[in-house]
Amino acid sequence: MRAEGVEAVVLRKFEMGEADLGVELFTYRWGRIHALAKGGRKSHRRFMNKLEPFKYIRGLFRGRRRGLMLLEGADIIRPFLHLTEDLKKTIYAFYAVELVRVMTPMWDPHPQVLELLLRFFDFLEEGEAGEDHLRVLELRMLTLLGYRPRLDKCVRCGGELVGGGWFSLSLGGVVCKKCKEGDDLIMLSEETLKVLSHLLKGKGRTPFLPKVKEEARRFLPAFIRYHTDRDLHTLRVMDELGV
């Protein structure tokens, strides 16, 4: 079976046996996969510093699709070294990786999500990121994966959302006061709906006021958890470290 060269972002690595490494990667061609780097813990020539999280590599793969691929070698395309030089940037990068891991199935390619991840890494390296940038990342990832929240009108009656509304996790959108029912509702102010709707329409980023930041942080991760049935552990680390 001929080896194939495929570009990928390293999501995580883990030990397998005494000498091998397991690697979870997000590839352009296949989506999220697991691969085995035989001798990866000892082979300095083939894998030294190439399989660390966040690295963007071109890997040489061999094996059957939808199984454990064999990673025979790797070359670094983008090292993203600065992501590990600052604690906040490192945690934000790990959060982006966690979103990919919990939101994308194995062997399901999403090249636009990979491009979004790379752009986010670029942004972290070049500038000062804030919590609002995480919310933008969540919104864009939800949209690309088919879970775009509906925030402009009531999803039950189609009416205007005067004074804010309640986001229904099960309906994937906001309901007005008249249609408010259910136990999975999260209240969102008119200002929060305006800012997030603005982002969804691709009109650029509006600065998040404290109330918008608080409400968006409560609602977007909850919406992701609803669809994935997975906790976002990096958020807890952020809370513990105050970043």
Q: Which helix (H) or strand (E) holds 58?
A: strand 56-62
The pLDDT value recorded for residue 19 is: 85
* CA pair distance 28, 166, nearest whole angstrom: 37
173-175: strand order across its sheet: 173-175, 165-168, 185-188
Over the stretch 5-31, which tens digit does the pLDDT of each residue have? 999 999 999 988 888 999 999 999 999
Is residue 44 pLDDT above 70, yes or no?
A: no
* CA pair distance 41, 62, nearest whole angstrom: 19
The pLDDT value recorded for residue 130 is: 87
Over the stretch 54-66, which tens digit does the pLDDT of each residue have? 999 999 999 877 7
pTM over 0.85: yes
Supply the CATH classification number for the domain 4-80.
2.40.50.140
How would you classify the pairing of strands 31-37 and 56-62?
unpaired
In the chain, what is the straight-line distance between the N-terminal and C-terminal CA atoms, in Å?
A: 47
In whole numbers, what is the pLDDT of the chain averaged over residues? 93
Own/partner long-range contacts of 165-171 (Cβ < 8 Å, ≥24 apart): 165/193, 167/219, 167/223, 169/222, 169/223, 169/226, 170/226
Other CB atoms within a 10 A radius of the CB of residue 217 amount to 18
The pLDDT value recorded for residue 32 is: 97
* CA pair distance 19, 14, nearest whole angstrom: 11
Mean pLDDT, rounded, for 138-150: 97
Over the stretch 120-142, which tens digit does the pLDDT of each residue have? 999 999 988 888 999 999 999 99
- Residue type for 126, please? E
* CA pair distance 162, 165, nearest whole angstrom: 8
Q: In the block, which residue shows the tokens 């991760």?
A: 221
Mean pLDDT, rounded, for 168-190: 95
144 within 8 A of 112, measured Cβ to Cβ: yes
Over the stretch 193-238, which tens digit does the pLDDT of each residue have? 999 999 998 766 677 899 999 999 999 999 999 999 999 999 999 9
| Percent of the chain residues topping a pLDDT of 70 | 97
Q: For the chain, which residues make up each domain, given as ranges?
A: 4-80
Is residue 39 pLDDT above 90, yes or no?
A: no
Over the stretch 73-87, which tens digit does the pLDDT of each residue have? 999 999 999 999 999
